[in-house]
Amino acid sequence: MTDYAAPLADMRFALTEIAGIDDIARLPGCEQASADVVDAVLEEAGKLAGGVLAPLNRSGDQQGSRLENGVVRTPAGFKEAYAKYVAGGWNALPFAPEHGGQGLPMALSTAVFEMWNSANMGFALCPLLNVGAVEALHAHGTEEQKQVYLPKLVSGEWTGTMNLTEPQAGSDVGALRTRAVRDGDRYRITGQKIFITYGEHDMAENIVHLVLARLPDAPPGTRGISLFLVPKFLVNADGSLGQRNDVRCVSLEHKLGIHASPTCVLAFGDNGGALGFLVGEENRGMECMFTMMNNARLNVGLQGVAIAERAYQQARDFARQRVQSRPVTATSAGTFAIIHHPDVRRMLLSMRAQTEAMRALAYYTAGAIDRARHHPDGDVRVAQQRRVDLLIPVVKAWSTDLGVEIASVGIQVHGGMGFIEETGAAQHLRDARIAPIYEGTNGIQANDLVGRKLLRDKGMAAEELLAEMRALDGPLAAAPGEDIAKIREQLSFGVLALTTATKWMVERGAIEPARTLAGAVPYLRLMGSVTGGWLMARSALAAEQHLADGHQDRAFHQAKLLSARFYAEHVLATAPSLLSAVAGGATVMAFDIEQF
Amino acid sequence: MTDYAAPLADMRFALTEIAGIDDIARLPGCEQASADVVDAVLEEAGKLAGGVLAPLNRSGDQQGSRLENGVVRTPAGFKEAYAKYVAGGWNALPFAPEHGGQGLPMALSTAVFEMWNSANMGFALCPLLNVGAVEALHAHGTEEQKQVYLPKLVSGEWTGTMNLTEPQAGSDVGALRTRAVRDGDRYRITGQKIFITYGEHDMAENIVHLVLARLPDAPPGTRGISLFLVPKFLVNADGSLGQRNDVRCVSLEHKLGIHASPTCVLAFGDNGGALGFLVGEENRGMECMFTMMNNARLNVGLQGVAIAERAYQQARDFARQRVQSRPVTATSAGTFAIIHHPDVRRMLLSMRAQTEAMRALAYYTAGAIDRARHHPDGDVRVAQQRRVDLLIPVVKAWSTDLGVEIASVGIQVHGGMGFIEETGAAQHLRDARIAPIYEGTNGIQANDLVGRKLLRDKGMAAEELLAEMRALDGPLAAAPGEDIAKIREQLSFGVLALTTATKWMVERGAIEPARTLAGAVPYLRLMGSVTGGWLMARSALAAEQHLADGHQDRAFHQAKLLSARFYAEHVLATAPSLLSAVAGGATVMAFDIEQF
């Protein structure tokens, strides 16, 4: 009932037609990503995801991670699954070759990451956090730190964490109080961190904590924060593990979902101070943190895609086997599965079409990261980075909001059985619900989109994207068929609305900051819906072309055309109506705080 | 943190301005509902809800009901709370006086029911199910059955249940297999029922099961179903409790939410057959069931309102005390609660405005029930019943969908703390998620709306409602101020869209039944959004009038105006965009089942 099969056909389609994996494979440093390799990686990852990780999803939820005498025990089977994951070289997939990474493109590793998260989000969080630690060390670590820590973190023998949050410092990182005191060429760290994902566990022999802390003489706020590497076990000169460091897990949170993932309260320095090593410069920790967070935000957005895919598969399988009532379409006697009912089909198609749109956007953004890193032309790199910076908050917030909505529809497809925990549909909603919150709440993503990504460049990056969207109108007009005509119509309305909203935001942002920020979330939703619609239109064109070329898999490409049309009629069609809310922040700010 | 205070001011406002409680109190049989009585009832109910039931909500969720040796133990404190509830006469509130009911109007009892559900949805389900049993017996029971059972069910000393579902018969009630065999003037019932809310518990001395079953010679499908009264304890001639009947609880479901409410698997007749007594005529059980379900659907819709209100209060209280980051609006140094952040205010206002709109619709519908029952003019009664029949599926589905969405926003307001179970915000989402499913899934409500309420009378009832909405344009045009002008504008678009969609549905329903049913859920959402917008516009006019009259509570009425404007700009403004999905069923039906 809760099987997962990686949607290889749609993943390949999105990689080829949307991310442009063939072009990416021609970039210097990405040459290994030949079509054969891409196929093999997807195929093998699909096996690990479906065969090893997915079967542990439900039991992992039921058992949860447990804290026993300071040791965190992950659910049965997790340790063994992680060992297989490491042994297969999967952890090294996205990383640069210099420290043992496989150097495969981000677009490909994004597809693979989607699989881990679909199969078992509670498990996948461990590698997800590790990516941030690797990237921070890669960008800001000393040569020695890289030599000692990166090979183990890249292979996955050791795992990494991100230690930001404290009880009084959540979204407001600058309010953190954890102290770091110089002690020779090291530091002694004292304080408490909360919400530390896989802050303690039994799947790896060492854990490398990246910890934000404050020096005694640091300036207040975010300009006084430094980043420290605090290993669970200190590392000897020969690379072997030494003494246990002064950091321990004092409790685990009881959460709505992702029960398998231990969310730790970590106490640093109860016995004299945990030994920490500065990463980057003193008081420049926030920059390092943003390095960690940027790709983490893409990966969290991907969790929205992944959980939506899993919820879709489960709802579809249930709807195929559950027999109930005679549908209006029935032309014969006998029993009918509920998938024949028009509204059940509508629900399934809404799950599927939106998941495809989110997948397209996530892979597209990952492809832009590859170009920003590897393109030989510096101007292209800069332009692609601008695109990435613009879209990261959209991928994160739009996909995770939809992930929750789609998981909820998945429950609805099941009827009463959806509310029963044994069915597994409810877990997806519980798991999905964290993603709009962590790695910067979706409200913060919207503030970032409007404040940093729109206003700072006066809408240039957004206008570049909009120009590309408009340029698709020609090809859409030239393509045959009613499906594409309908898609074209809705896309044109959507692009017009997003253009209007963007201009409005750029004009008003400086004059009425509170009002524009009160419209930031609807604006982000508008941008997600329209950008998703643009990529679905590109998918429809590609599918149409394959059909015209006599591609052998007609059913798949016909389904792509129809899901794009569904998206246009049911999702994109509602996007322009968000304009009123985008500009409606004046009412929000007029409502007195005392009146709530 | 998880306190609940009944929103008395808004309840009184909705009762007075929307339901028209003053007029209702002048109807024959409703005379007791004087303004003083209404105030006193709301006040006292608020005390019980806030002081007794609400404090048991979280512990009830944690402990859940438990099955021990065939006995279901409700969570600590529930039995005592139920005794207080019965002793206070609260259970008798909505029922006709002839069997001990208080005969208060439905509009008032609806407000009170909202409180029980806000305070403790897991508790409130027991009285909710009981209402259905009372109404079924009242409408279809023999005189003797009424004499024996109604006084105890009305007082709440005994509770009632609805036994419909079987493993193979959920939405498809006609597929049920539970057997009833004549045995003199009684029947012997054998079979298994699932999803029986409060099917077994320890709060009352007897439980009266209303059970749908099939006679050996019954025709297949829904025309062969009969309704039986099956008491847990048989009742002696003197009214005392006799022998234990052959029905027992064999297991409880593990559910996503409403843990306090025992969801039972009941086995009937394992020892020779449970004794049952026919209610109504043989093979006419479905009619009796609809009697039970109609008001139950209103009450489940009300659960959507109730959980939204509870989630709003909790999110608001958290946002007031949680200090985090400096808002753009800050004009001074110091710390700021997150309620100052524009997006937090937007979230809170979206929760509040939609809750007010849902409350208005639920109370309005309850008021229509009072008129349909008590109005001296038969034509008015018929017209009001038509309105009730039209709106019941809307109240049920629209409010419960929004209940889930609003509870989810409530989590978001909390940030990371929202995902931690101890906070209590997550429970509201878990509890809310059942309401779109039970008492007929929201897909079935939409089918009912389109199939029975639109197509059967060719849109007459809907057109009557739309005509009333159009008639509000004059008063809106005549009223002063930008708020009302904005509301009028959005309402006119909404009414136009609903008119278009209704005509389309009525025209196409007979020709393309599958296509129209594939658009039924978006159509219902459109009707809910617009009808809610109409009632919010009426609220705004009333508030404006009170402000003009110099009403002493200016802040409250200003808030009503602004929340109505917010609703118009942020919710109603998106409603017309659903037209595309309403008509978009062709794409849904074109997507081949094999392609999913």
Residues in chain A with CB shorter than 8 Å from the CB of B574 are: 574, 577-578, 580-581
Which phi and psi angles does A378 have, rounded to 5°?
-60, -35
Segment A499-515 mean pLDDT? 96
Q: B584 and A591: CB-CB below 8 Å?
A: no
Give the percent of chain A with pLDDT over 70: 100
**Within 10 Å of residue B167's Cβ, how many Cβ atoms?**
14
Q: How far apart are CA B432 and CA B419, in angstroms?
A: 16
Q: What is the pLDDT of residues B501-534, one digit of tens each?
A: 999 999 999 899 999 999 999 999 999 999 999 9
**Mean pLDDT across the stretch A311-315?**
98
Contact B573 A581 (CB under 8 A): yes
Query: Mean pLDDT over residues A63-72, rounded?
Result: 96
Other CB atoms within 10 Å distance of the CB of residue A28: 8
DSSP states along B88-145: TTGGGTTS-GGGT-----HHHHHHHHHHHHHH-HHHHHHHHHHHHHHHHHHHH--HHH
Q: With a cut of 90, say whether residue A327 has pLDDT above it.
A: no
| Closest Cβ–Cβ partner in B324, B342, B577 for A588 | B342
Strands B206-213 and B158-163: parallel
Q: Encode pLDDT of A275-294 as tens digits.
A: 999 999 999 999 888 887 87
Distances (CA, A) of B430 to A213, A261, A375, B433: 37, 20, 47, 5
pLDDT for res B2: 59
Report the 3 state secondary structure along B542-573. Answer: HHHHHHHCCCCCHHHHHHHHHHHHHHHHHHHH
CA distance B255 to chain A (A): 5
Give the pTM.
0.98
Q: Is A268 on the interface with B (CB under 8 A)?
A: no
CA closest to A440 among chain B residues: B415
Question: What's the rounded Cα separation, in Å, for the pair A355 and A361?
Answer: 10
Reported as a single tens digit per residue, the pLDDT across A3-29 is 999 999 999 999 999 999 999 999 999
pLDDT tens digits, residue range A35-57? 999 999 999 999 999 999 999 99
User: B239: how many CB neighbours lie within 10 A of its CB?
Assistant: 10
List chain B residues with CB under 8 Å of A515: 342
Q: Which amino acid is at B558?
A: Q
Amino acid in the structure at residue A535: L
Per-residue pLDDT of A372-412, as tens digits, reads 999 999 999 999 999 999 999 999 999 999 999 999 999 99
| Average of per-residue pLDDT across A196-202 | 98
Share of chain A above pLDDT 90, in %: 94
Mean local confidence (pLDDT), A354-367 = 98
Confidence of residue B292 (pLDDT cuts 50, 70, 90): confident
CB A408 within 8 A of CB A486: no
Structure tokens belonging to residue A42: 């997807």
Tell me the ipTM for this assembly: 0.97
Alpha helix ranges (H) inside A415-481: 425-432, 442-448, 460-471, 473-478
Size of chain B in residues = 596
- A234 phi/psi in degrees, rounded to 5: -65, 150
Give me the pLDDT at residue A445, please. 97
pLDDT value of position A171: 87
B257 CB neighbours in chain A (<8 A) are: 419
Mean pLDDT of A184-198: 97
Tell me what the pLDDT averaged over chain A comes to: 96
Q: Span B476-496, mean pLDDT?
A: 98
Active site members of B = 439
The nearest alpha carbon in chain B to A415 belongs to: B437
End-to-end C-alpha distance for chain B, whole angstroms? 45
* pLDDT value, residue B1: 45
pLDDT of B331 reads 80
What is the helix (H) or strand (E) element at residue A64, kind and residue range? none
- Is residue A368 pLDDT above 90, yes or no? yes
Identify from B402, B526, B570 which residue to disrupt to test chain A contact, counting A C-beta atoms within 10 A and taking the largest count.
B570
What confidence score (pLDDT) does residue B21 get? Answer: 98
Three-class SS of residue A240?
coil
**Nearest partner of B596 among A544, A407, A319, A362, judged by Cα:** A319
Cα distance between residue B555 and residue B562, in whole Å: 11
Rounded CA gap, B195 and B181, in Å?
A: 24
Shortest CA gap A224–chain B (Å): 16
Whether B321 and chain A come into contact, CB under 8 Å, resolves to no
What is the band of A2 on the pLDDT scale with cuts at 50, 70, 90? low
Q: Work out the pLDDT band at A1, boundaries 50, 70, 90.
A: very low
**Residue in chain B nearest A489 by alpha carbon:** B580
Given a cut of 70, whether residue A129 has pLDDT beyond it is yes
| Closest CA relative to residue A500, chosen from A518, A519, A486, A514 | A519
Contact A358, A10 (CB under 8 A): no
- Asked if B482 reaches chain A (Cβ–Cβ under 8 Å), the answer is no
Q: Does residue A332 or residue A467 have the better pLDDT?
A: A467
